Amino acid sequence: MYVAVKGGEAAIDNAHRLLADRRRGDRSVPAMQIEQIIEQLGLAVDRVMSEGSLYDRELAALAFKQARGDMIEAIFILRAYRTTLPRFGYSEPVDSGTMQIERRISATYKDLPGGQLLGPTFDYTHRLLDPGLMGDEAVGTPPRREAGDRQAPRVSDILAHEGLIENDSDLPDDHPAGDLTREPLEFPMARDVRLQALSRGDEGFLLALGYSTQRGFARSHPFAGEIRIGEVEVEIDVPELGFSVCLGRIQVTECQMVNQFQGSSKSPPQFTRGYGLVFGQSERKAMAMSLVDRSLRASELGEDITAPAQDEEFVISHADNVQATGFVEHLKLPHYVDFQAELDLVRRMRAEFLASQAGDDVADNGVEAAQ
């Protein structure tokens, strides 16, 4: 029997008003300003931008506030917003080599040109809670040191001679960049679309997969060749002007993972590379991305596919947390009718099972009796 039901409008309306109340919390505590979120919770904003796949600090901070700090909800809101906007065009590829660097480290070369720049890092902190931050203790200005015009070339460019390390990419020059927001996913996919999917992928999921490769599920002997964080210029070609114009700068994190590679029937022994590039300051994500990018290149490099992190369809289909949350969370929506049908089915199967057991008992008794 199917009964159409309707209702809950008043309940939903009231639930939203309750949500607004709880989001605001105790009215005697000052409301949080968007600027405060951007300035003081910057890494949360960066994660919302990177996985929301939309670079806009103000909107990401608003989404974060609206979602009461729920990352995936905020990412969802930002993704929904972007669908309302027209796309004006495509930028020229950003050049991480000319980045205004805020942090740059290499775990493979101690003395690399430009030096090891630690930047605003949590590394080397003791992870002890800081009671000073309970209040609003004054914070001094950071020390300075004459930077001069030192260049910091990419480590991959330094290593490129000798042929010990592979080139940036082997896709043909005229390969059009695929766009998963425009075309449905098709497997196997080219590395460009995979990188787009990984860059907007869930940090936790990629972190776990990257970790799994280190623990032996598709071991790839990684070294952090270089991690750099900083601002790059975004240029767009404006057809009506006939030249490209600079739109401003965005902050990105780039990771070059260098992996030992013993060679295969397809490639000589050399260092291969995994690449990570994400919006904002997000070192963990960029590192995890580069590990997973490398493991997903298994078939390209002629390696056996033995681990989850090498399975392109598995990784890419499950990396998007908005899709994942949509499908998991839809289970809480009313399934009254589906469940009613299942209930009937289970009742029937159970009756059949009990009936056949009763039959078996009779048969077993028969056998026993014969013995």
Partner 1 sequence: MSAVASQDVFRGGFANPDFDAQMVFRQIMNALARPGTVCMIDAFTEPPAPLSPCTGAIAATLFDADTEIWLDPLLLERQEVVGWLTFQTAAPLAETGFDARFALVSSGDLLPPLERFAQGTQEYPDRSTTIILQLDSLEGGVPLVLAGPGIKDRHVIEPVGLPPRFVEQWAANNSHYPRGVDIILVADDGLIGLPRTTRIEPTDGQEA
Partner 2 sequence: MKSETDSAEVTLQNARRAAMAVLARAEASELQKAWNEWPDQPDVQLLRGPETGLVMVRGRIGGGGTPFNLGEATVTRATVELSNGQVGHAHALGTDKEKVRHAAIIDALWQDETSRPAVEDQIVEPIRQRLDRQDSTRRDETAATRVDFFTMVRGEDE
Q: Looking only at residues 244 through 283 of this chain, which bind partner 2 when binding is defined by CB under 8 A?
A: 244-250, 252, 254, 256, 273, 275, 277, 279
Q: Scan for tokens 């690399």, then name that residue.
A: 112
- 147 touches partner 2 (CB under 8 A): yes
- Closest to 316 in 3D by CA, of 236, 159, 209: 209
> Exactly one of 41, 69, 82, 158 binds partner 2 (CB under 8 A); which one?
82
DSSP string, 271-334: EEEEEEEEESS-HHHHHHHHHHHHHTTTTTTT----SGGG-HHHHHHH--HHHHHHHHHGGGS-
Token pair for 266: 């397809």
Residue 93 found at the interface with partner 1 (CB under 8 A): no
Contact 316, 195 (CB under 8 A): no
Q: How far apart are CA 200 and CA 61, in angstroms?
A: 17
* Region for residue 95 given its phi and psi (left: phi exceeds 0; alpha: psi -120 to 50; beta: otherwise): beta
**Subset of residues 178 to 217 that bind partner 1, contact rule: CB under 8 A:** 182
Decide: is 88 part of the binding site for partner 1 (CB under 8 A).
yes
Q: Does 240 bind partner 1 (CB under 8 A)?
A: yes
Q: Choose which of 93, 131, 135, 242 interacts with partner 1 (CB under 8 A).
A: 242
Contact 319, 205 (CB under 8 A): yes
Q: Note whether 164 binds partner 2 by CB under 8 A.
A: no
Residue with Cβ nearer partner 1 (28 or 84): 84
* Window of 30-38, 60-68, 224-232, 240-248 that interacts with partner 1 by CB under 8 A: 240-248
124 binds partner 2 (CB under 8 A): no
Give whichever of 84 and 265 is closer to partner 1, judged by the CB atom: 84
- Residues 52-71, one symbol each (x = binds partner 2 by CB under 8 A, - = not), give -xxxx-xx------------
Name residues contacting partner 2, limited to 1-30 (CB under 8 A): none
Among 14, 40, 169, 356, binds partner 2 (CB under 8 A): 169
Q: Is the preceding omega at residue 153 within 30 degrees of 0, hence cis?
A: no
Please report how close the Cβ of residue 238 comes to partner 1 at its closest, in angstroms.
9
